[in-house]
Amino acid sequence: MRPPLSVGAVGQPRWLHPGAWWVWALGLATAASRTLNPLLLLVIIGVAAVVVSARRPDAPWARSFAFFVRLGILIIVLRVLVQLVLGAAIGTTTLISLPGIGLPDWMAGVRLGGPVTLESLLMALYDGLRLATIIICIGAANSLASPSRLLKSVPAALYEIGVSVVVALTFAPQLVADVTRVQAARHLRGRATRGPRAIAGAAMPVLEGALERSVTLAAAMDSRGYGRRSDTSARRRRAIAAVLLAGLVAACIGTYGLVAAGSTAALSGLMLLAGMSLSIGAIVWSARTAIRTRYRPDPWWLPEWLVAGSGIAVAVCCIATSWWFPAGMETPFDPPTWPSLPLLATLGLAIALTPAITAPPIPVPFVSAAMRAPDAVEVPA
Amino acid sequence: MSRHAVRLGGRSIAAIVSTTAIGIVAFGWPLLASPESTAVAHADDAPWLFVVVIPLLLAVVLAQFTDGGMDAKAVALLGVLAAVVAAMRPLGGGTAGLEPIWVILVLGGRALGPGFGFSLGAVALFSSALLTGGVGPWLPFQMLGAAWVGLGAGLLPRATGRAEIVLLAAYGAVAAFAYGLLMNLWFWPFTEGLPAAIAFSPGAPLSENLVAWLHFTIVTSLGYDIPRAVLTVVLIALAGPTILSALRRASRRANFGAVPVFVTEAQ
Amino acid sequence: MIRFDDVSITYDGRTTPVLEHVDLHLREGELVLVVGRTGSGKSSLLQAINGLVPHFTGGTLSGRVLVDGRDTRTHPPRELADVVGVVPQDPASSFVADTVEEELAFGMECLGLPNDVMRRRVEETLDLLGLHELRSRPLLTLSAGQQQRVAIGAVLAAHPRVLVLDEPTSALDPSAAEEILAALQRLVHDLGITVVMAEHRLERVVQYADRIIIVPGDAQPVAIGTPQEMMRLAPIAPPVVELARAAGWHPLPLTVRDARRAAGPLRELLVGQPPPLRAVAPDGAGETLVQATDLSVRYGTRWALRGVSLSVGRGEVVALMGRNGAGKSTLLNAMVGLRTAASGSVMTHDHDPASLKGSELLQSVGLVPQQPGDLLEATSVADECRAADRDASVTPGTTRALLALLAPEILDGVHPRDLSEGQRLLLALAVVLAPRPPLLLLDEPTRGLDYPTKLRLVDALRDLARGGHGILLATHDVELAAEVATRVIVLADGEVVADGPTADVVVASPMFAPQVAKVLAPFPWLTVSDVITTIGPLILRTHAPISGDAVG
């Protein structure tokens, strides 16, 4: 075993722990959520894009980054359009004046059209950009962190559910192949192979096959020792149940405290925190009766620390900036001013760029385990 | 009736009930929260809090299910049906909410019991998000919403034959539609800054926010919610009986909770 | 190692036991073959070894099963996972993980082995089964033989003392089957593992067995004995044994080598005899039903067929042989219009099959796919037959009547998914035959079939050929080809490498020759019945050598 801070062979291709990517991306997203400074937001998007392009594997799930970027653009466009058509004007710099339409009374307060001001457009743009940036950061995590490796890192208490998700991920592409095969069989019976009717006709044999498979799979899992546990005493079980129950009740009280009048934030928050910790503790405790181990768990070495740390650093820098120098994080739009780059936040973003170098390169040639269809599928029908 | 695929013990029921209670707040706080409450005071952060809390709660529920109530058969069936849902999800291609997946969630919950329905909803949406790289803050809410749909289907009253299909179709319509409304609700707080008529205004009275939310729904998602509900009804009416009998056959074949009998003396 | 003490098994909802009063004692390091029809209780016997029966399936078990000293009454399957490894019939549907390495580790993870042990055993298993190069491959991309090896490796990694396999070679081509059997042989000899294996294809496995268990079904007593003892009396036997029984050779040879040594006098009898005539269409060559001319088909960049030219005429039964992936299925698919030609053409009855639709297509060519269940969509046999009549626009009742001829025991109300694999094939065959297509194509029809069902299929195919149908069947089953084929076409790498009368093609081929041909080579007799029709049973017996050592 290597020490926890082992660097691993430098530059040796391997998979970075998916958790590290998520910490990094969530740190970036947190930073984005703290600011309405368009320049800063654009830099955050830039950082995400650079790291993704440097460390993204060639797998179907990894192609989702582009989708998230498109989603982000859509959010901005929608936000601005809504402002244009429905928004109340702020400020005085009128750009154009759209014809206004009054809506019936039951839509009281909604007014279509009217004067469009630069100020209100900027406000909508910045607001949309912030949400889009958060979405894009999450998209970065989606395309950098391998889902099947993420599943390997689920805590022991969720192992069973993790297994069913692995089964689902492996089996879903196979189902698509099954549908093709069954549609071929429909052709053999002289039936339609396209259109909704054909899909419906093909669905049943595929579903039946899938259900049959689940029984075979279960028998195989049972025979291979799945679900082995050591014995638990009744006393211990009762204790676990008590802790779980207490935790859940506390979490409920805490949650309702947050939305009820007259309770303090600190008390409710604490209650919720304590409740969640107790219930999770109970689950973890009860999972310890399982005797499973894990094969080649993803290590958490120096690169993981560096990547995750850079995410935390950027979040901390931005939160600190918004705390001490709030002016730099907001860009006034009434009257419009040019945005500036606050020093501390920019430093944080520079740190967030480092994973493009510190994360180990992707093993090549990489074949996606989860989604790759057999090469040259020979449809046997 | 076959035995349920996931046995619900006292602990599991407690976990479901409290998750549901907290989930109601997580979705409904913009409408329910008192103007003086902490949630309203921190309206910007409240949705993010629930983005963290809900997955943890779902984890607690599912871990609780697997701790004793769920054998290899249930886990395998769960994985396989989740794969079916995940493979079906792109079929609609997101066009006008034509997602055929609700059929499987509703019928799965009905045929295999509430515990299984709950797990299926959560696991299926999670798997399909992993498969398509669609993990995001919306995911916990989708998982919980779908889990409720499956749970509810498992809790429907007894009925057979045509009556059962009518019942399921009606439930499917309501569930698919309600799911859309719930999904609006979770990100509605982010609409602060939209025109007042459709935006969430923290601290405003329930009546005002409710109207605004309904308007928001009409403006944004009704065009998705109605086709989704209609599609679900049509599919359940057409394919419901066949799928249901296939699921029940599978459940019989799996023989959940099989009791082995040993006789020491030869007969 | 494994002990059955007066074991009877009754499933829930059944009144009669599937197995009754079974007493067995299997020793360490034995390779035991379990033989029996589908539905005879063979699978129940296998599953009782690791407690799947009755813990997983439900039901009542009386008596006692002990494995390595552990009683299955108190040990459910998961508690026996470190002693018994079970390889199910269809390995692909039993995989839990998505890559080879993870799949090998899954069982060990469940058993809670420490990481360094797992790491070492995964490497050992990869080496033992020659899976090294596949270690990070997704399981779905493996060939059937590779998947079977992974499935075996996945249970072996847990170091069980007993390995239970359900038809490990049924989906494999001959060479992949050889590989699996060689690997098993090594496990028995080098590691002393006890192997219990069910298999229908006796000709492949019988020579490896130390003992054979015969499960006759219908609650008849289960018998166990050495292969020589059991094969002397068994109702089903590989061709080499049947030949030996007909010739009265003693001791009974189980391998081609032993039989060849005993067959010297028999071969002498064949000198100068005219080789048996295969039943061919009236004038030797009937009307051509399908004609492929310089046909090429490709998937993306891979060419599945390259310039294939062949034809099938009325009354012919043509066996299409070759490795997995040689292009057999593609060729069949092209003949029904499921694949379009990249160049060249395929014509059925002067039509391009791709241009035919609906019942027109059905009336010119029918294909029974590898998984016949794919064809079946209805919820009962009767509905399926009615739907087939509609599809084919034939008089209602046609399909049902055909099915009654092929498989009289199938009842109307049964769900097609509840039929056995063989029955499902016969139902699919009835569905395909209803529109009376002159050309019938079958893809791997004998996969998973037991011996009686195979005989029924052989009879049906012969009748069809006599009735003027042309039949093209893709198969790995050399004995089937020897039994029914009038002509054999061998595909390799998408090209036709041999095309000629069965005897001409298979006799000299080490891969495709049936056992009888190997015993009698260079004489072109392919089956036991051919030999008997040529010289008659009595002559055979008088010329039998006294001992197996006698070499002619």
| Report for A102-116, A228-242, C369-383: range of highest mean pLDDT | C369-383
Residues within 8 A of C (CB atoms), B 38-97 only:
73
Return the pLDDT at A105: 56
Mutate to test the interface with C, among A159, A161, A224 (most CBs of C within 10 A): A224
The 10 Å Cβ neighbour count of residue B27 is: 23
Report the chain A residue with the minimal C-alpha distance to residue C89: A216
Does residue B22 have a pLDDT over 80?
yes
Q: What is the DSSP letter of A49?
A: H
Q: Above 60 in pLDDT, residue A79?
A: yes
Average pLDDT over residues C166-188: 87
Q: In what order do the strands lie in the sheet with C302-313?
A: C302-313, C288-299, C343-348
Q: Provide the shortest C-alpha distance from residue B250 to chain C (in Å).
A: 11
% of chain A residues with pLDDT over 70: 87
Residues of chain B numbered 174-203 and touching chain C (CB < 8 Å): none
Residues A361, A55 contacting (CB under 8 angstroms): yes
Find the mean pLDDT for residues C322-342: 88
Could you count the other beta carbons within 10 Å of the beta carbon of residue A353? Answer: 18
CATH fold match for the domains C2-236 and C288-515: yes
Q: Are B144 and B23 in contact (CB under 8 A)?
A: yes
| C38-51 per-residue burial string, b: 16 or more CB within 10 A, e: under 16 | bebbbbbbbbbbbb
**What does each C-alpha distance from B3 to B153, B154, B209, B254, C13 come to in angstroms?**
16, 12, 44, 10, 16
The residue count of chain B comes to 267
Looking at residue B30, its pLDDT comes to: 82
Confidence of residue B50 (pLDDT cuts 50, 70, 90): confident
Other CB atoms within 10 A of residue A312 CB: 17
Q: CA–CA separation, A250 vs C31, rounded Å? A: 60
A138, A171, A200: residue with CB nearest B80: A171
Mean pLDDT of C313-334: 89
Residue range A224-242: mean pLDDT, rounded? 81
Domain spans in chain C, listed from the N-terminal domain onward: 2-236, 238-275+525-552, 288-515
- What integer pLDDT is reported at residue B97 of this predicted model? 53
Q: Which residues contact C238 (CB under 8 A, 6 or more apart)?
A: C202, C203, C206, C254, C515
Q: Is the pLDDT of residue C377 over 90?
A: no
Are A98 and A114 in contact by the 8 Å Cβ rule? The answer is: yes
Q: Which of C421, C429, C415 has its CA nearest to residue C453? A: C421
Contact B262 C12 (CB under 8 A): no
Contact A379 C359 (CB under 8 A): no
> Residue C140, Cα to own-chain centre: how many angstroms?
22
Inter-axis angle of helices C174-191 and C144-156, to 10 degrees?
A: 20
pLDDT at A243 exceeding the cut of 80: yes
For every residue of C106-117, DSSP letters joined together read: HHHHHHT--HHH
Smallest Cβ–Cβ distance between B37 and the set A170, A174, A259 belongs to: A259
* Mean pLDDT, residues A353-358: 90
CB-CB neighbors (< 8 A) of A60 in chain B: 133
Q: Which range, of A291-305, C202-216, C283-297, C364-378, averages the lowest pLDDT? A: C283-297
Short-list B33, B58, B64, B66, CA closest to B47: B33
| pLDDT given for residue B194 in this prediction | 66
Residue of C nearest to A214 (CA): C93
* Per-residue pLDDT, A375: 38
| Axis-axis angle for helices C115-128, C144-156 (nearest 10) | 140
Summarize the confidence of residues B138-164 as an average pLDDT.
91
CA distance C188 to C457: 35
pLDDT surpassing 90 at residue C123: yes
Cite the beta strand spans of chain A per DSSP E. 94-102, 111-117
* CATH of the domain spanning C2-236, picked from 3.30.200.20, 3.40.190.10, 3.50.40.10, 3.40.50.300: 3.40.50.300
Residue C540 pLDDT > 80, yes or no? no
Supply the pLDDT for residue B69. 64
pLDDT over 60 at C551, yes or no: no
Give residue B203's pLDDT band: very low, low, confident or very high (50, 70, 90).
confident
Given this model, what pLDDT does residue C446 score? Answer: 85
Give burial (CB, 10 Å; 0-12/13-18/19+) of B192. middle
- pLDDT value, residue C431: 92
pLDDT recorded at residue B218: 80
Give the tokens for residue B32. Answer: 């329910």
Residue B37 has pLDDT above 90, yes or no: no
Q: Which DSSP helix (H) or strand (E) runs through C183? A: helix C174-191
Q: Is the model's pLDDT at C552 over the cut of 60?
A: no
Q: How far apart are CA A213 and CA B73, in angstroms?
A: 11
B247, B249, B261, B265, best to mutate vs chain C, most C CBs in 10 Å: B261
Spell out which residues of chain B touch residue C65, defining contact as CB-CB under 8 Å: none
Pick from C57, C66, C414, C418 the residue to mutate for testing the B interface (most B CBs within 10 Å): C57
Bridge partners of C133, per DSSP, are none
pLDDT of res. B265: 58
Interface mutation target, options A167, A230, A295, A375, chain C, most CBs of C under 10 Å: A295
**What chains are in contact with A, requiring at least 3 Cβ pairs below 8 Å?**
B, C
Q: Flag if C55 and B258 touch (Cβ within 8 Å).
A: yes
Q: Count of CB atoms within 10 A of residue C500's CB?
A: 12
| CA distance, residue B14 to nearest chain A CA (Å) | 7
Distance CA A17, CA A19 (A): 5
Cα end-to-end span (Å), chain A: 50
Return the higher-pLDDT residue of C439 and A228.
C439
Name which of A152-156, B140-144, C423-427, C461-465 the model is least confident about.
Answer: A152-156
More reliable by pLDDT, A96 or C260: C260
pLDDT band at A220 (very low <50, low <70, confident <90, very high): very high
Confidence at residue C518, expressed as pLDDT on a 0 to 100 scale? 92
Which of helix, strand or coil describes residue C321?
A: strand
pLDDT of residue A300: 86
As to burial, measured by CB atoms within 10 angstroms (0-12 exposed, 13-18 middle, 19+ buried), residue B54 is: buried
How many alpha carbons fall within 13 Å on the CB side of residue C373? 20
In the predicted structure, residue B93 carries a pLDDT above the cut 60: no
Angle between helices B46-66 and B10-32 (to 10 degrees): 170
- DSSP letters along B148-167, please? HHHHHHHHSPP--HHHHHHH
Q: Report which DSSP code applies to A51.
A: H
Q: Which whole number is the average pLDDT over C528-541?
A: 76
Q: Do the strands C365-368 and C439-443 form a parallel or antiparallel pair, or are they unpaired?
A: parallel
Q: How far is CA B126 from CA A162, A217, A294, C29, in A?
A: 10, 21, 22, 46
Percent of chain A scored above 90 by pLDDT? Answer: 18
Residue A88 pLDDT class (50, 70, 90 cuts): low
Q: Give the separation between CA B81 and CA B76, rounded to whole angstroms.
A: 9
Mean pLDDT of C220-225: 90
B10 touches chain C (CB under 8 A): no
- Residue-level pLDDT at B96: 44
Class of domain B10-253: mainly alpha
The DSSP bridge pattern shows strands C31-35 and C317-321 to be: unpaired
Percent of chain C with pLDDT strictly greater than 70:
95
Between residues A286 and A9, the one the model is more confident about? A286
pLDDT of residue C538: 56
Lowest mean pLDDT among A307-316, A371-380, B25-34, C425-434: A371-380
| pLDDT at position A24 | 95
**Residue A226, burial from CB neighbour count under 10 angstroms (0-12, 13-18, 19+):** buried
A380 contacts C369 by C-beta, under 8 angstroms: yes
- pLDDT, tens digit, 9 for 90 and up, residues B53-78: 898 889 888 888 887 667 889 999 99
H or E element, residue C20: strand C19-26
Query: CB distance A169–B131 less than 8 Å?
Result: yes
DSSP string over B56-119 = HHHHHHHHHHHTTT--HHHHHHHHHHHHHHHHHHHHHTTGGG--THHHHHHHHHHHH-HHHHHH
The pLDDT, as a whole number, for residue A234 is 78
Confidence band for A5, pLDDT divided at 50, 70 and 90: low
Binning pLDDT at 50, 70 and 90, where does residue C471 land? Answer: very high
Share of chain C above pLDDT 90, in %: 35
**Residue that is written with structure tokens 């999770």 in the block:** A280
Per-residue tokens: C73? 């009454």
B169-186 pLDDT, tens digit each: 999 999 988 998 888 888
Write down the architecture of domain C288-515 according to CATH. 3-Layer(aba) Sandwich (3.40)
pLDDT category, B167, cuts 50, 70, 90?
very high
One DSSP character per residue, A237-257 reads HHHHHHHHHHHHHHHHHHHHH
As to burial, measured by CB atoms within 10 angstroms (0-12 exposed, 13-18 middle, 19+ buried), residue C410 is: buried
Predicted pLDDT of residue A204:
83
Backbone angles phi, psi at C170, to 5 degrees: -65, -30
Higher-pLDDT residue of C282, C35:
C35
C-alpha span between C162 and C66 (Å, rounded): 12
What is the pLDDT confidence band of residue A381, given thresholds at 50, 70 and 90?
very low
Chain A: closest CA distance from residue B20 (Å): 10
Question: What is the rounded average pLDDT for all residues in chain C?
Answer: 87
Confidence band (pLDDT; 50, 70, 90) for A61? Answer: confident
* Candidate from A190, A204, A294 with C-beta closest to C377: A204
Q: Which of C43, C217, C8, C79 is nearest to B262 (CA)?
A: C8
Q: State the average pLDDT over residues B121-146.
A: 88
Residue B1 has pLDDT above 60, yes or no: no
Q: What is the DSSP code (8-state) at residue C171? A: T
Determine the 3-state secondary structure of C477 from DSSP. coil
Q: Are A93 and A114 in contact (CB under 8 A)?
A: no
From CA A265, how far away is CA B134, in angstroms rounded? 33
More confident: A368 or C248: C248
